[in-house]
Chains A and B, each alone.
Chain A
């Protein structure tokens, strides 16, 4: 009998906690923190001066170093993660025999593109005769991927939409395998200033590692992170045929919009709750079967409390025993790449039977009454994990990941 499940059989990532899955998982479970003082530009007049910055990796051995050197940071990130995911899935050398799609969530692609381009002295923002290409397009061409390639933006929920798109393309038979995930190199002078002026960022500049405090009563905002993560998705039947073990199954994705405000989440979490329920229904999972929730929880006073309300509504009497954590406390908030990196955190929990903690959760806010995994990892068999991601503009998404027997 045909199995229409979608499996993850490889991933590549770039984060402040490591540039491969093993290192990232080890650091997450050790409670290490990737948030430090921002370097690379003058931050002296910025309200927030800390972040989870990444160091761009050297050119992968499989790629042309001259070409890589010419690329912008966002393009390098996508290329690096795609190559690592293809290699991890054992498909690098076969990639030209397959129709490989690419769906990459990037929320502010052109602002970042022009920012980096301008920093290296180019005048492309002011030269409209140059038809620039998206990072996904550049990656697909240079890696010789023959399927469709798009970037999509739904703010901080972009990565979960990418999983949804890629899963659908696979189910429709439009691609043989698909790379899906997100990337964001958002710690730039302009974006650090814009988020800082919005009063969305923590001002706890003197203590970077303890600044981001999701669900804690003393939280004072988020801290930006950056990086990316791309996953290799394929149909279960195809993976079995080539004897690949799955890392997990993409069991469902729920997506809705608040239609309330371009920045603030709706105080009525009805539509966000619908997204979580939609994801669970698509996965055919009942709420009590969930073993772990990777919360969106960015450490803002409003957002964390609203998310706690959502989880209480979805899980009802089971809520007090379903472990919840926010790994942003260690990585920072990766904006459009958050959902993708947090999906990797869920895979860590599934693979290692251990739930990464919310760091800096010393005094849980009574408004956020959940089963917190605070400050130390918790050993637990994780068969089903969900990852919530909500974005500016009221984008609500929830991804359901399942261990494969």
Chain B
């Protein structure tokens, strides 16, 4: 067996917020982007953005305002986005246009705006982030493994901080043949600003510890998939549930790592 020295790792949460947006609210956000992004990302640009990108931008902007990060230079920061089933509606539109107009009907905006890295790419552009900008996973259990990217980016100490943005539709959006969202779904997003774990007065933490008792297995996978509603976004959104069980979000039974996310202060408190 390999000689594995397990190194725990911790990040401190210094800002957080969430967004819960209807289709109508997303449409108006496209026309009037949040102030954090308005100087760089115009309505013309956002016309092509995915709804999950817009929701993530809204959550991030609120976190920035609520926790006094307005004047922070995000140049030496990184960003990880975890968006679930990115581009479903875009795919339906693509398929429809291709069937009607052939190759010329396919929009050039699909690749930059509707793929896994589009959320992080757009936000990095808007905030001037020059660290890595990554989109992770995208399936039903994306939150869980996506957090491992944070540790990877921050473990070398090269970047001052990292934004984590998670987003998905609730319930998962149903689209028609033309790519219109026809279900009564809202787009949920959460944004966390994270810095190295020794930061004073954090709002919470994300802690990574190995646990050799925890193995990925078919059984634990099924368990995780059985409760898709308990994602990181829901955990951050649901104050009541979190207060009832402060250690609710303690996941990763399938990865061999225990990842704990803890939030210790209410929104609106300055770090």
Contacts and interface: CB of A to CB of B under 8 A. Distances in A.
Interface string A258-278: 111111000000010010001
Nearest to B7: A172
A175 B134 CA distance: 21
B117 A148 contact: no
Majority secondary structure, A binding face:
mixed
Given A131-B140, A154-B134, A172-B9, A393 B118 contact: yes
B125 A150 contact: no
Contacts of A47: 103
Contact of B132 (A145, A198, A241, A255): A255
B135 A146 contact: no
Contacts of A191: 111
Interface string A100-118: 0000001111110011001
Contacts, number: 266
Contacts of A106: 116
B116 A107 contact: yes
B170 to A, nearest CB: 11
B94 interface: yes
A300 to B, nearest CB: 14
Contacts of B172: 128-129, 131
A256 B75 CA distance: 10
Interface string B147-158: 011011001101
Interface string A365-405: 00000000000000000000000000111110000000000
Given A99-B256, A125-B88, A392-B112, A262 B135 contact: no
A45 B88 contact: no
A198 B111 contact: yes
Contacts of B129: 257, 259
Interface stretch (B26-34, B192-200, B215-223, B242-250): B215-223
A155 B1 contact: no
A120 interface: no
B210 interface: yes
Nearest to A126: B175
Contact of A260 (B106, B125, B173, B252): B125
B2 interface: yes
Interface residues of A, number: 86
Nearest to B254: A148
Contacts of B141: 133, 137
B61 interface: no
A241 B129 CA distance: 42
B148 A196 contact: no
Interface in B201-226: 208, 210, 215-218, 221, 225
A149 B145 contact: yes
Contact of A110 (B85, B105, B108, B151): B85
Given A150-B136, A165-B148, A198-B108, 15 more contacts: A45-B103, A108-B115, A128-B88, A141-B221, A150-B149, A152-B136, A153-B116, A153-B136, A158-B117, A174-B210, A190-B98, A257-B130, A259-B125, A394-B121, A394-B124
**Top 6 A-B pairs ranked by shortest CB distance?**
A153-B116, A393-B121, A193-B106, A148-B255, A193-B103, A128-B172
24 contacts: A106-B116, A109-B116, A110-B116, A125-B91, A125-B175, A126-B176, A128-B183, A129-B172, A141-B221, A147-B216, A147-B256, A150-B136, A150-B146, A152-B134, A155-B117, A168-B155, A193-B98, A193-B106, A194-B110, A197-B106, A259-B125, A261-B125, A393-B124, A393-B133
